[in-house]
Structure 1
Amino acid sequence: MSGIPRIKVNNHGTFFYQYEFSLLDALEAQEIPAPYNCRGGYCGTCKVRLLDGEVEQVQDALFDTVGDEILTCCCKPVGHIEIELPED
Structure 2
Amino acid sequence: MILQCVNIPISIEYRGYIFTGNQKDVFLEQFEMEGICIPYSCRSGFCATCKVKILSGSAVSLTGKITVIAPASILTCTSIPCGNVQLE
- TM class by shorter chain equals 0.7 to 0.9
SS at match of 1:28: helix
Whether 1:50 and 2:54 are equivalent positions in the alignment is yes
TM-score if structure 1 supplies the norm length?
Answer: 0.76
CA drift of 1:77 comes to: 0.5
TM-score if structure 2 supplies the norm length?
Answer: 0.76
Whether 1:81 and 2:74 are equivalent positions in the alignment is no
Structure 1 unaligned blocks of 5 or more: 61-66
Q: Deviating runs (4+, > 2 A) in structure 1?
A: 18-21
Paired with 2:14 and 2:26, the residues of 1 have a C-alpha distance of 15
Residue matched to 1:9: 14
**What amino acid is aligned across from residue 50 of structure 1 in structure 2?**
I
Whether 1:70 and 2:74 are equivalent positions in the alignment is yes
Judge conservation of contact 1:6–1:79 (CA < 8 Å) in 2.
Answer: yes
Per residue, is there more strand in 1 or in 2?
2
Taking only aligned residues, the RMSD between alpha carbons, in angstroms, comes to 1.9
Paired with 2:73 and 2:61, the residues of 1 have a C-alpha distance of 13
Number of corresponding residues:
76
Structure 2 unaligned blocks of 5 or more: 1-7, 65-70
Residues 17-56 of structure 1 mapped to structure 2, 5 A cutoff: 17-19=21-23, 21-56=25-60
Judge conservation of contact 2:50–2:75 (CA < 8 Å) in 1.
Answer: yes
